[in-house]
Chain A
Amino acid sequence: MSLNVSDLTIARGGIKVLEAVSFVLDPGRALVLRGPNGIGKTTLLRTVAGLQPPLAGSVAAEADSLVYSGHSDGIKATLTVTENLDFWASVFGQNDIAPAIAAFQLERLSTRPAGALSAGQKRRLGLARLLVTGRPIWVLDEPTVSLDTDAVAMFADAVRSHLAQGGSALIATHIDLGLPEAQILDVGPFRARAMEADDFDEAFL
């Protein structure tokens, strides 16, 4: 169930951003990606999640083992918190959303329309979605945006218990998550030499 990324070269908008990225993420481990804005962390995570193809290299993981969470939470404003979680749970073939609601302390908000939540509460709902998917490998892009310190601690607890159950997490973030056991990978050294991608058409796709 480990995630094996080897020699990955990725491009954004037809420009190579990172070259020859390799790492292995074993069950029970967390890997934190660091690097300045625009270095390609989001592109790397989207490639790992299978949303875009790499220019070179490979991402090897068991089928249907990844769950991706990006900058936006995928929450429908007119559905309630419970309806939102129920939907994602049934898409992923699960049915128990109670642990997710408890982990992010959404009990008191559960009947509210998601559109009436604050930015931080929405993010908590978005993170609770990870728990209802039942997938072992979490791929998270800046999960703590707009969370307060308590909620960051909630998130760290959720990640820790996920790791304890044999899951793993790949997280791009700029802040300290309070996860001392996580390995840190600085993607700076993998920055690609400024050069356009070989495939000219790629820029228009």
Chain B
Amino acid sequence: MIALLIRDLRLAMRAGGGFGLGLAFFLIVVTLVPFGVGPQSELLARIASGILWLGALLACLLSLDRIFALDWEDGSLDLLATAPLPMEAVVSVKALAHWLTTGLPLVLSTPLFGLLLSLPQAGYGPLVLSLMLGTPALSVIGTFGAALTVGLKRGGLLLSLLVLPLYVPTLIFGAEMARRGAEGLTYSTPLLMLAGITCGTIALLPFASAAVLKVNLR
């Protein structure tokens, strides 16, 4: 399992691996928003947490189709399916690698991007915490979508259509938690909901992804 994780991280770092792609996309979205809505800092401060959550979500979506498509094309997925690793472990490791290369850099760079949107000072902690709790769910749900569409040529659009509705609960509670934090309100209820959703997806979805992948490999 560790070998697979190391290989995936190494592939992401090498040429054409896509590491940093989501981050660059996130940066562009966040920089474009003030151009779109105008440079009023009170307005920006009000929408900052929502925009940052939306940007992180879209950046996550960008790299989902790479999770299995590349391994499917070069035959590695067939070979992994016949290897001693259970398929559930393969999909969990893939989701973890996706989170480490996409979700985690987003979480760590959010404070910087919050500055660009003049996020109120009280909002930084809850925003980073909400992304930290929410982005693993985005990766796990995305892995399920990627498993569903593996083998389809140019399945990227279909993947987005399948996955985005599943992202709604995470987005609602994540953005709500960040908004309440920015306004200085208590945010323990959305925090618990968000953490619950993430734990639930991590516990259940790898089994669904593995089952779907086995069917798709036939």
Known: A73-B75, A205-B215. A79 touches B7 (CB 8 A): yes
CB pair B82–A76 under 8 Å, yes or no, is: no
CB pair B3–A90 under 8 Å, yes or no, is: yes
Partner of B83, one of A53, A76, A92: A92
CB pair B78–A70 under 8 Å, yes or no, is: yes
Assembly CA distance A87 to B9 (angstroms): 13
- A sample of 29 cross-chain residue pairs with beta-carbon separation below 8 angstroms, ordered by A number, consists of A51-B217, A53-B218, A64-B84, A66-B82, A68-B79, A68-B82, A70-B75, A70-B78, A72-B73, A72-B78, A74-B75, A74-B76, A74-B79, A74-B80, A75-B74, A75-B76, A76-B11, A76-B76, A77-B74, A78-B14, A79-B11, A79-B14, A83-B10, A87-B3, A90-B2, A91-B3, A92-B83, A93-B84, A205-B215
Check: A52 CB closer than 8 A to any chain B CB: yes
Check: A166 CB closer than 8 A to any chain B CB: no
Interface residues on B, range: 20 to 34
Assembly CA distance A46 to B15 (angstroms): 33
CB pair B78–A51 under 8 Å, yes or no, is: yes
Q: Cβ of A93: which chain B residues have Cβ within 8 Å of it?
A: 84
Check: A67 CB closer than 8 A to any chain B CB: yes
Assembly CA distance A92 to B75 (angstroms): 17
CB distance from B83 to the nearest CB of A (A): 5
How many chain A residues have a CB neighbour from B under 8 Å?
Answer: 31
CB distance from B196 to the nearest CB of A (A): 33
CB pair A51–B82 under 8 Å, yes or no, is: yes
Check: A71 CB closer than 8 A to any chain B CB: yes
Known: A51-B81, A74-B75. A79 touches B218 (CB 8 A): no
Check: B17 CB closer than 8 A to any chain A CB: yes
Check: B16 CB closer than 8 A to any chain A CB: yes
Output the residue of A64, A66, A75, A78 with the most chain B CB within 10 A: A78
Q: Cβ of B78: which chain A residues have Cβ within 8 Å of it?
A: 46, 51, 68, 70, 72, 74
Q: Cβ of B80: which chain A residues have Cβ within 8 Å of it?
A: 74, 91
Partner of A91, one of B16, B74, B84: B84
Instruction: Point out residues on A near B: beta carbons under 8 Å.
Output: 46, 49-53, 64, 66-79, 83, 86-88, 90-93, 129, 205
Q: Cβ of B2: which chain A residues have Cβ within 8 Å of it?
A: 90
Q: Cβ of B73: which chain A residues have Cβ within 8 Å of it?
A: 72
9 closest cross-chain pairs (CB), A and B:
A72-B75, A90-B3, A78-B14, A74-B76, A52-B218, A74-B79, A74-B75, A68-B82, A87-B7
Assembly CA distance A205 to B217 (angstroms): 10
CB pair A50–B82 under 8 Å, yes or no, is: yes
Assembly CA distance A93 to B10 (angstroms): 20
Assembly CA distance A77 to B76 (angstroms): 12
CB pair A49–B82 under 8 Å, yes or no, is: yes
Assembly CA distance A52 to B217 (angstroms): 7
CB distance from A172 to the nearest CB of B (A): 15
CB distance from B56 to the nearest CB of A (A): 27
Of chain A, the residue at the smallest CB distance from B215 is A205
Of chain B, the residue at the smallest CB distance from A202 is B218
Q: Which parts of B1-31 form the interface with A (CB within 8 Å)?
A: 2-4, 7, 10-11, 14-17
CB distance from B81 to the nearest CB of A (A): 6
Q: Which parts of B178-218 form the interface with A (CB within 8 Å)?
A: 215, 217-218
CB pair B218–A205 under 8 Å, yes or no, is: yes
Output the residue of B2, B7, B11, B80 with the most chain A CB within 10 A: B7
Q: Which parts of B124-183 form the interface with A (CB within 8 Å)?
A: none
